[in-house]
Structure 1
Amino acid sequence: MSTTEPTTTRWERRPDTPEGWLERARDVAALLAVDAVERDRAGATPHAEVRLLKESGLVRLLGPVEHGGGGQRWDTAYRVIREVAKGDGSIGQLLGYHYLWAWAVRLVGTDAQIDAVEQLYTENDLFFGGAVNPRDSDVVITDEGDEIVYTGRKSFSTGSKVSDLTVLEGVLDGTDDHIFAIVPSDQEAIVYGDDWDNLGQRLTESGSVEIRGVRVPWESAAGYVDKRFQPLVYNTLNTPTIQLVFTNFYLGIAQGALDAATAYTREKTRPWPYGGDDKDSATEEFYVLDTYGDLQAKLWAAEALVDRAGQRIDGLLHAERDSVTAAQRGQAAVLIAAAKERIVQTGLEIATRIYEVTGARATANSAGLDIFWRNLRTHTLHDPIAYKRVEVGRYALLGEIPEPTWYT
């Protein structure tokens, strides 16, 4: 990352419109894109990158205006995630997860908890991580009177060492009750494994974490009053909300791939001299124009569907919590499933086929075009995309909407 102007000076004034925030996100993405490949190769903990997100104000985007936040809606947050991911897919993921976990208290907390947490993170510019991998069921919570104690392990904890606050999840011993709590990340009882060594999304700090007796007052157990939870349909919006987070940073990565490829073709790709209809420039080659036209059309179509899904769930996330119905939630979830399926297929196709129109020299490590496929291929395996197609198929064929699960 490089800039000729200190970010604290560049970003003294915070935007107050959605377009202003999107422009801020584009500025951040441009800085990240300068050395995204080099930072990816190095794999260092992204402290500087998260500091950039804080200095730009993007961390506070969803925070209440009265506490110094942006006061923006989720529709804007999704677009911001997408813009940042164009410059660096890993940092787009970190920001998206931060938005989800910052909203988690609103999803499941009490009114008092919502006020306290939103004031805390917004005023202090705190960054969220989460240890909530649903496939790990070995975090056990014990009830010790006025406190609950979390103990166990999670395979993934995105944000880990760059987070200020961590969302914990576990099951109360002897029950089926899941309890979420927000705790400080920097404490002896949270031990990060530093074992994130994956093909892509290398800067997301998504390694394992050991929870060694994290103590939380019962009054901080999200949504619990007198040790009892009162469920709402609104609580179940967490999964479709984060599935659309995924969808948007996939879209951003795909857009970044197409932008990088077209720039490479314009600047470096040589025309093929043995085709019988020789051109002076690769940009005049029929197959090059045909391929880019095909990929751009598919990307625009995916973007339109993603935006439609964003508008749908935005209306629910900003509604009165007790007004959201199961039918509304299901309609949003199936649309998000369709949008995710489309950008996964389109994004992977783009990240693969760009080599057909950039040429053999574009496979050089110095070109860095591999980062897009690696990032997409890594995270799009989060949960099987076939199940998203099945959800859409059940809706199309049988009129059934998805039931809430940890992945739907």
Structure 2
Amino acid sequence: MNQVSSAHPSAPHALWEQTRPREHASYPADWIGKARELAGIFSEGTVDRDHDGTRPLEQIRLLRESGLVNLLYPAPLGGGGGTLHDAAHAVLEIAKTDGSTAALLGFHFYNSLVPLLTDYEDRNAEIVRRATGARWLWGNVTQYVNRAFVAQHHPDGGFVLSGTKRWNTGAPLAEITTVLAIHPDQDRYLYATIPTSREGLHFHDDWAPIGLRGTDSSTITFENVRIFPDEVLYWSHGPAQTGPLPLWASFGAIFYSAVYVGRTLGALDLARNWTLQGKRQGTFPGSDLSADDPFIQAEFAEYWIEAQAALAYLDSTITRVQQAWDARASLTEEDRGRIALDTLALRTFTSRTALHVTPRIFEFAGGRGTGFAADFDRFWRDVRTLSSHDPEVLARRTIGRHVLHDIPLVFPPHFKR
């Protein structure tokens, strides 16, 4: 099954068609091993793709064919039945070699969970079954800050949307996307899923950052875009959604962190390889290789230890979030706030580690590492681009306030009751 929807009209959208699977491989027994295998394939040409800003269409196709896109979905709904650890480490392995594809997979994972996050009782199961059957890659049109993005009722049922949304990560490359808009009554949110081939969607192709150049977070304009009744997600957390989606940001922090740690480890792998291939200018006398220079050894150890600390922090946090997800039906508002604070701290630590380590790999290569063809800076540029989504100082202020005063993190409603 490769059709987005046979019930609703759509217009052609060429990009996702180029990622359509040619086959559906059986789910792997080892999800992380499969991701490591794909990372090796993706490493070929990664420098050229970074230089050219090439969209990773072939890489997305292979992710879909492998079944990795279905990893987090439950087996009874056609998914792979994998764990959060499997998904995060799959992103991490790919991030070692290909930052853009890893980021797209990470964004896919937590946005593809939206039908399960809005309802814990499988009332959105049909959309998940369609997703697993076609092995969709998910994009997102989700930003909460766009207060002008208000839906209108359609006379034939459902809603219609007009307006512009920026920073829609993966949506131009995905077959399906989540859409968050304000309900016509303007007292709650409306969450839906629509195909990116839907008539009235206009992709601006304006994504041109310094890093993650293949992720495509282009601006999208909606021009009388239909949302049909069966595309509106069922909401079971009270009478209406008036604030952030429970656990969504926490899952996002896990996958952001997986990209940060993966890019850090990938940068160190590259630096290690260079130190084993020759000597940089100023190598310690008597050392035949840069890797034998005691000063380089001490410097490399410092960054390696930092990366190991970030990796351990990621894994311990994943364990707690998985436990919370398994008990999601019984979580209190205070429980969710504790998880949010926990994952915000993780995201802050891993981004800071990545921003500290990735630019310092130039120390190991010397002047050779500054060559355009070496592309040593791609790791830092990717991390800098992703980390700019949420300034660290704001995260630290939130963490510090709640830790100092020992008060729970509570998300206030976005609408006046």
Structure 1 residue runs of 5 or longer lacking an equivalent are 1-6
Do the aligned residues in 1 keep the contact of 2:278 with 2:289 (CA within 8 Å)? no
Amino acid of the residue matched to residue 86 of structure 1? K
Pick from 190, 193, 199 the counterpart of residue 179 of structure 1: 190
Cα distance change on mapping 1:401 and 1:268 into 2, 3 Å: farther
Q: What SS does the corresponding residue of 1:150 show, helix, strand or coil? A: strand
In the alignment, what sits opposite 1:195?
206
Summarize the alignment of residues 11-50 of structure 1 with structure 2, pairs less than 5 Å apart: 12-16=25-29, 20-50=30-60
Q: For residues 328 and 280 of structure 2, what CA distance do their matches in structure 1 show?
A: 57
What letter corresponds to residue 373 of structure 2 in structure 1?
A: S
Q: Report whether the alignment pairs 1:364 with 2:371.
A: yes
**What pairs up with 1:242-321 in 2 under 5 angstroms?**
242-270=252-280, 272=282, 277-321=285-329
Tell me if structure 1 keeps the 8 A contact 2:190–2:241.
Answer: no
Q: How is 1:100-179 mapped onto 2 (pairs within 5 angstroms)?
A: 100-109=110-119, 111=121, 113-145=123-155, 146-179=157-190
Q: Contact 2:92 / 2:262 at 8 angstroms: preserved in 1?
A: yes
Identity of aligned residues (%): 27
Distance change (3 Å), C-alpha of 1:258 and 1:221: same
More helix by share: 1
1:91 aligns with 2:101: yes
Is the CA contact 1:271–1:278 (under 8 Å) kept in the aligned structure 2?
no
The RMSD of aligned alpha carbons is: 2.4
Deviation above 6 Å: which 4+ runs of structure 1?
none
Amino acid at match of 2:34: R
Query: Normalising to structure 2: TM-score of the pair?
Result: 0.88
Q: CA deviation at 1:402?
A: 2.3
Alpha-carbon offset, residue 243 of structure 1: 1.9
In the alignment, is residue 236 of structure 1 matched against residue 246 of structure 2?
Answer: yes
Give the deviation of 1:365 after TM superposition. Answer: 1.0
| 1:347-386 matched pairs, under 5 angstroms | 347-386=354-393
How far, CA to CA, are the matches of 2:405 and 2:198 in structure 1? 50
Deviation at 1:353, TM superposition (A): 0.9
Structure 2 residue identity aligned to 1:307: D
C-alpha distance after superposition, 1:182-222 (max 9, x if no partner): 01111221111100011000001111001112222344322
Which consecutive residues of structure 2, in runs of 5 or more, have no partner in the other structure?
Answer: 1-20
Question: Within 5 Å, which residues of 2 pair with 1:206-217?
Answer: 206-217=217-228
- Distance in 2, Cα, partners of 1:232 & 1:208: 25
Cα pair 1:223 1:229 within 8 Å, conserved: no
Counterpart residue identity of residue 103, structure 2 = Q
1:196–1:335 CA distance, 2 compared to 1 (3 A) = same
Q: CA deviation at 1:233?
A: 9.9
Deviations 1:87-142 (A, max 9, x none): 21111111111111110011114745421111000011111111112232221101
TM-score, normalization by structure 1:
0.90
Q: Aligned runs of 1:307-346 on 2, under 5 Å? A: 307-321=315-329, 323-346=330-353
Residue identity in the other structure for 1:136:
N
Aligned AA for 1:353?
Answer: R
For the structure 1 residues 140 and 66, does the alpha-carbon distance in structure 2 shift closer, same or farther, using more than 3 Å as the test?
A: same
Q: Distance in 1 between matches of 2:174 and 2:243?
A: 29
Supply the AA of the counterpart residue of 1:281: L
